[in-house]
Amino acid sequence: MRVYKLTSLLFLLWTSAFSQQYYFQEISMADGLANDKVYTIFEDTDHFIWMGTGYGVSVFDGTQIQNYSSNDGLAIGGVKSIYQDRFGNLLFGHYDGGLTQFRNGSFESLDSLDITGHIYKFIEYDDFLWVITDGSGAYRFQMLKESDGWNFKDSEKYMGKEGLSDRVYDIIELSSGELIFVTDAGLKKFTSENQEFNIYKKNIIPAYFQITSIFEASDSIIYIGTHNGGLYILDSKADQIKYYDEKSGLSHNFVMSLAEDKQGRIWIGTFGGGLNVLSNGEIKHFDSRNGFPDKRVQSLLVNYQGVLLAGTNASGLQIFKGFQFLNFTNIPNFETTTVFDLESVNGSLYEATEKGLLKITFNNDISYQIESVETFIPEISFKFIEPNGEKGLWLASELDEVWYFDLSDNSYRIISALRPYFRLNKITSFTKDKLNRLWIGTIDGLLMYDPATEQVERLSQENGILNNDISCVQVSGDKIWVGSRQSRAGVNYILENKVHRIELPLIITITPTAFKETDDGLWIGTENQGILVLRDDTISEIYSENEGLLSNHISFISSDKNGKLWVGNQKGLNCYLKNAESPWMSYSMAQGYMGLDCSLGALSYNRKGNMWIGTSQGAVLNFIDKVPIFEGSAPPIISEIKVDDVSIENDEELVLSYNQNEIEFKFSAVELYSPEKLKFSYKVDGLNQKWQTISSDGDRKITLFAMQPGNYTMHLKIVDYRGQISALKVPLAFTITPPWYKTTWAFVSALILIMLIIWAYIKYREQNLKIEKKILEEKVEERTHEVVIKNVQLEQKNKDITDSLHYASRIQQAVLPTTRSLEPYGFIYYRPKDIVSGDFYFIAREDKSIYICAADCTGHGVPGALLSIMGVNMMDRILATNRDISPDDFLNKLNAEVAKTLRHDETQGVNDGMDLALIKINCEENKLYYAGAYNALYIIKNKELTELKADRFSIGSQRVRKDLVYKSQSVDIEWNERVYLFSDGLADQFGGERQKKLKSSGLKNLLLSVQDYSISEQKKEISNFMNKWKESEEQIDDVLLIGLELTKELKNFKT
C-alpha cells in the first residue's frame, strides 16, 4: 500500500475573497422597474408595493410592475415620498418640490403649491396633513369637511422664522402623542395648544452630526440615524443613550433609513455601507460579499407579511427572504461549483467536486465567515464522501476508485483490495455502517469492504439482491437498505449479514434513490416517481409533484434534530409538515435556496445540527431553526374589469348589458415570500356553485363568456404556501340586464297594449251584444212565461210528494213504538236521514221475557221505510204465533218470511233485506239471549266493554239455504250492566278534524266515555257528540242506537 503526502494544489484565501450569500430577490429595470434608484417604498391598504424612483412612481401588484410618470399626470421629477391618507388617496412628494395626488383612479398634479426643496414625508396629526420639505419647511393642510380630502388651496407654512426650520428631513408621531420634526437644527417638538416648536432632547446628539432619520420601535425605544455619526438609541424608560458607529460594528456612519421587523430586529440602511441588522445588541452586515448588491440604501420597509424590502441607490428593490439559507457559491480561483457530496467534520466542510477534495474552514459556527479554502488531489473528480469519525474520509472517485484521506496529515491512499472489482464496473452509491464497514453500490452488485480485515464481499442476485444494478445504499439503524434500478418486485435490506426482501405492490418499475425509516413507516425516494411511504408492507402514501413536491426525482430524505423530514430533489428542497393542510413546504430560489437542485445523497449535519446540502451551484447551509415566520398572502382584489376587451370602472354597483357577453376580471394578490405557491380558485353565484381552479402559472384573470341576464356574485379565494386561505374582502356583485324586450317595462307595456286591444274588442262586442240582447230579451220573456207556468206545476207536484212522505212518516211512527218506550230503563236515539227511515226498532213484552231489536233495512228513505213496516209486521206475527221464542229461531223465521215475501227464490225477485240485533231478556232466570245478523251487541260493565259478534249474513239478503241458520248466544245477567243495540249509521258517519268515519272503534270509545252518566242522560250526550262530530257534514245514513240498563226493575217493564 502506497501512501502519498500532499503535494497537490493548495489555495489559502482570506474571508473577503469568498461568496457566502443570503438571498435578496431583486426587482430592477430588468424586471420592468422604470429606474433602479428607489427613493422610497410604501405599502397601500391593498398591500400593493409603491416605489418612488428617479423616473416617477412604480407599483407592484404581486404579478407585474406598472410605471407612472409626468406623462400620466404626475408632477415633474422623481418621487421621494409616498403616503396614503385616511380617505384612501395616495400622495406623492417629488424631488425638487412637486406634489401629486392619486384619487379616484387618476393622478392630479397640485401645481398651485409653491414648494421648493424635496418633499421627504407626509403625516396626519389631529385633523391636519403635514408635508415636510428640505427647503420650504413644513406645510399643514386642513381636512375638508364636505369631502374626502384636504384643502390644498389654503395651507399653514412653518419655517425657521416660525421656530421650526427651512430644512426638515423627517417627522414622526411618538407613542406618547408627541409630534417630532428632524431638522438641520436638531429635533423639534410641536405643541398644538400654542402652535410652538421647541427643542426636543437637547444635547443628546452632538450638533456637528446632522440627524437624517428617526424611528420608534414597538417597545417605544427611539432610533435616530445621523449623517456620519452612526446610530443613536434613546431608551426613555431606562433613561440611557446608546450609539453604534463603524468602531462598534456599524458598516457605515451615514444612516439613511430605519425599520423594525416582526421579530423585533432593527434594520439599518446606510448610505455607503449597505444594509445592517441589529439584534440582541449585535450588528450583522449585508453587502456584495453576502448577497446585498448595493452599498447605498435609500429606504426600508417591512410589509404586512414581515418581509423586509430595501430601496437602493442603483440596484432597484431588494427583497430579503430570511436567514434560513446561507449559500456558498462562486469561489474565486476555483473553476467548478458543483458539489457531488459533502461532510462536516471538526467544524470544517469537505466537498467532493470534479476538481478534487475541497476543504472550507470557518471562523465560527455562528457567522460562518470563511477563513480559508484548501483543495486536495485536484486531478481527481470525487463523487462520494463518508467520514471515518474525526480521523479521516472515505472517498469514491469518478474513476471508480475508493480512497482514504487521513485528516491528521492530509495524506491519502487508494484501497487496492477493491480495485479488482472495478475493472468493468461503476460505483453508483456509497455509505458506511455502524461497524465502520463500507457498502458500495455498483452496476454489478453490492460490495462490502471491512477496513479492519481488508476483506471484500460481493452480494448479487444469487444472494437475494433484486437486481445487480444498485441505485442506492443507505444505512438506517442496524439495517442497510438497498435499492435496485428498475425494480418492480421491491427493495432489500441487510440485517445481521442476511439479505431480506420487501415486496412492493406496484405495477410499475421504480428506481429507489433514498430511504428513511420513521414512525410513519419506510419512506422510499425514487428517481422519477416521487416518494412511496411503506407501512405494514402496504403503500400508505404516494407523494409527487401533484401533492407539493418540487420534483419527482428525489436526491435524499433526512430528519433533522427537531424531527422534521427534509427531502432534497432536482428542483430544490421540501420539508414535510405533518398534519398540516398543505404538508409540503417548498424551498427554491424564491425562498433563498440558491442551490436549485440537490446532489444525490449530498447531505450532512454540522455540530449545531444545521444541514449542509451539496448542489450544482455549490454548498448551501440550511439553518433549520431560522425558518422565517411570515404572515400569509394578502387578500386578493379585483384590479381591473374588461368588457369585450375594454376596461371599465369597478363601481360598487356593476351593471352590464346583455350584449356585453365577454367579461374579464383581473385580480391581484401580493405574496413576497413564496408567490409561486399561491393557488387561486373562484365561483360565481348564479352561474356555478363549485369552486373553479385557476392556473397559478398563467395570467391572474377570470374570463366569463355568454352570460345570461341576471344577478351574479363573484367569489375569489387564494391558498398560500402555508395552506392559509384569504378571500375578497367584499365579493363582487354584478348584474347583466336583459334586452329591452325582456325587461319589466317591456312586459308592462306589452300587457297594457294587450289590455287595450282586449278593451277595444270588448267594446266592439258590447255593441253587438246589445243588439243580440234585445232580441234575446224578447225570446227570454216568452220562454220565461212558459217556465213560470211549468215551475208552478212542478211545485204543486213536489208539494204533493212531500205531503205523501210526511203522511208515510206518520204511518211509520204509528207502527213503531215511541222513542220514549224504554224510559226510564233505557233510551232510543233515532235520527232518520230523510223524512222516512230505513232503520226501525222493535220492543215487545211476552210473559216473563222482553224482546228488543234494532234493525237496518237495505237503503234508506221510502224503500227502507217500506221494508221497515214490513219487518215490524212480520216480527209481530212471529211473536204472536211463537210464544217465548228464542232469538235464533226468531231470526230464522224472519229470514224465511222476508225471503218468501220478496221472492228471493225467483230470478225476478228483490234481493233486499235487513241487518239487525235482537235480544231476549228473561227477568226471572236472569238471562239475556242474543242473535244478530251482521249487527253486534255491546255489553258494558264497570267501564269494560264486551262485544257479542253477529252472524255474517243478512235477513233475507240471500236465497234461503238450510245450512245458513242463526245461532243464539246467552249471557247471565249481572244487574247494573248496560247493553247497546245499533245500526251502522253512527259508525259510518264522516266527521271530526280529519273528516273520516267514526268506525266501530270510535263508537266503542263514545259509549265508554258516557258511562259516568245515567242511562237517561246518555241519549243527550250522544246527541251532542253526534252534532259536534258531524258539524257541517251531510248525514249519510239513518242512525239508530238503543241503550238499556239491566236492573231488577225491568221485571215491571211494560210496552
> CATH code at 723?
2.60.40.10
HEC states along 117-137? Answer: CCEEEEEEECCEEEEEECCCC
Give the total number of structural domains in the chain: 4
pLDDT at residue 80, as a whole number: 96
pLDDT at residue 202, as a whole number: 83
pLDDT at residue 19, as a whole number: 61
> Residue 908: is its pLDDT beyond 80?
no
CA-closest candidate to residue 50, choices 72, 73, 83, 76:
83
DSSP codes joined into one string, 544-613: -GGGT-S-SSEEEEEE-TTS-EEEEETTEEEEE-TT-SS-EEEESGGGT-TT-S--TT-EEE-TTSPEEE
pLDDT at residue 3, as a whole number: 35
> Residue 6: is its pLDDT beyond 50?
no
Residue 490 grid coordinates: 421491491
Residue 141 grid coordinates: 393642510
pLDDT at residue 797, as a whole number: 79
Verify that 584 and 653 share a domain, yes or no.
no
Percent over 90 (pLDDT), the chain: 53
Name the residue with higher pLDDT: 569 or 660. 569
Look at residues 626, 651, 676 and tell me which one is the last residue of a structural domain. 626
pLDDT at residue 8, as a whole number: 35
Q: What is the pLDDT of residues 836-884, one digit of tens each?
A: 888 889 999 888 899 999 999 887 678 878 888 888 889 989 988 888 8
Measure CA 604 to chain center.
41
Verify that 567 and 687 share a domain, yes or no.
no
Give all strands of the β-sheet with 348-353 in edge-to-edge order. Answer: 341-345, 348-353, 356-362, 370-376
Distances (CA, A) of 87 to 143, 144, 150, 619: 10, 11, 10, 50
Q: What is the CA radius of gyration of the chain?
A: 54
pLDDT at residue 696, as a whole number: 65
CATH code for the domain of 30: 2.110.10.10
- 45 phi-psi bin (left φ>0, alpha ψ -120 to 50, beta other): alpha
Verify that 873 and 892 share a domain, yes or no.
yes
- Calculate mean pLDDT across residues 723-731: 84
Look at residues 683, 711, 738 and tell me which one is the last residue of a structural domain. 738
DSSP codes joined into one string, 507-542: SS-B-EEEEEEETTEEEEEESSS-EEEEETTEEEEE
Taking each helix axis from N to C terminus, what angle separates 887-901 and 861-881, rounded to the nearest 10 degrees?
130
Verify that 834 and 696 share a domain, yes or no.
no
Verify that 620 and 709 share a domain, yes or no.
no
Rounded to whole angstroms, the Cα distance separating 351 from 374 reads 10
Which of 741-750, 889-898, 926-935 has the weakest average pLDDT? 741-750
Which H helix or E strand runs over 753? Answer: helix 744-815
**Burial label, 669 (beta-carbon count in 10 A; 0-12, 13-18, 19+):** buried
Q: What is the pLDDT of residues 208-220, one digit of tens each?
A: 899 999 999 999 9
Q: Across all residues in the chain, what is the average pLDDT?
A: 88
pLDDT at residue 1050, as a whole number: 85
Rounded to whole angstroms, the Cα distance separating 874 from 956 reads 12
**Is 582 within a domain?**
yes
> Residue 360: is its pLDDT beyond 50?
yes
Rounded to whole angstroms, the Cα distance separating 38 from 257 reads 13
pLDDT at residue 890, as a whole number: 92
- Calculate mean pLDDT across residues 18-30: 87
pLDDT at residue 961, as a whole number: 60
**Burial label, 785 (beta-carbon count in 10 A; 0-12, 13-18, 19+):** exposed
**Is 216 within a domain?**
no
Q: Cite the DSSP H helix spans in 677-743.
A: none
Q: What is the residue whose three cell numbers read 404516494?
A: 542
Q: pTM for the full model?
A: 0.69
Distance, first Cα to last Cα, the chain: 147
**Is 306 within a domain?**
no
Q: With H, G, I as helix, E, B as strand and everything else as coil, classify residue 891.
A: helix
pLDDT at residue 352, as a whole number: 94
**Is 388 within a domain?**
yes
CATH code for the domain of 604: 2.130.10.10
Name the residue with higher pLDDT: 543 or 1048. 543
Residues sharing a CB contact under 8 Å with residue 577, sequence separation 6 or more, in sequence order: 564, 583, 584, 585
Name the residue with higher pLDDT: 534 or 14. 534
Name the residue with higher pLDDT: 939 or 334. 939
CA-closest candidate to residue 168, choices 180, 190, 184, 179:
184
CATH code for the domain of 992: 3.60.40.10
Q: What is the pLDDT of residues 538-558, one digit of tens each?
A: 889 999 998 889 999 999 999
Rounded to whole angstroms, the Cα distance separating 512 from 429 reads 11
Name the residue with higher pLDDT: 105 or 784. 105
**Is 355 within a domain?**
no
pLDDT at residue 411, as a whole number: 92
Rounded to whole angstroms, the Cα distance separating 190 from 781 reads 108
Verify that 608 and 641 share a domain, yes or no.
no
Range of the domain at 1033: 816-1052
Verify that 692 and 602 share a domain, yes or no.
no
pLDDT at residue 958, as a whole number: 54
Residues sharing a CB contact under 8 Å with residue 934, sequence separation 6 or more, in sequence order: 915, 916, 950, 951, 952, 953, 954
**Is 140 within a domain?**
no
DSSP codes joined into one string, 221-244: -EEEEEESS-EEEEETTTTEEEEE
pLDDT at residue 66, as a whole number: 95
Verify that 722 and 826 share a domain, yes or no.
no
Verify that 571 and 691 share a domain, yes or no.
no
Verify that 606 and 580 share a domain, yes or no.
yes
Which of 701-710, 802-811, 918-927 has the weakest average pLDDT? 802-811
Residues sharing a CB contact under 8 Å with residue 250, sequence separation 6 or more, in sequence order: 230, 231, 244, 268, 270, 273, 276, 283
**Is 337 within a domain?**
no
Residues sharing a CB contact under 8 Å with residue 763, sequence separation 6 or more, in sequence order: none
Rounded to whole angstroms, the Cα distance separating 331 from 373 reads 9
- Strands 427-432, 438-442: pairing is antiparallel
Rounded to whole angstroms, the Cα distance separating 523 from 527 reads 13
- Strands 654-657, 732-737: pairing is parallel
Handedness of CA 407, 413, 414, 416 (dihedral sign): negative
Please report which confidence band the pLDDT of residue 17 belongs to, taking 50, 70 and 90 as the band edges: very low
Give all strands of the β-sheet with 231-235 in edge-to-edge order. Answer: 210-216, 222-227, 231-235, 240-244
pLDDT at residue 70, as a whole number: 93
**Burial label, 976 (beta-carbon count in 10 A; 0-12, 13-18, 19+):** exposed
Look at residues 706, 738, 770 and tell me which one is the last residue of a structural domain. 738
- Calculate mean pLDDT across residues 24-37: 95
**Is 569 within a domain?**
yes
Verify that 668 and 583 share a domain, yes or no.
no
Please report which confidence band the pLDDT of residue 777 belongs to, taking 50, 70 and 90 as the band edges: confident
Verify that 1036 and 918 share a domain, yes or no.
yes
Residue 685 grid coordinates: 353565484
Name the residue with higher pLDDT: 829 or 859. 829
Please report which confidence band the pLDDT of residue 7 belongs to, taking 50, 70 and 90 as the band edges: very low
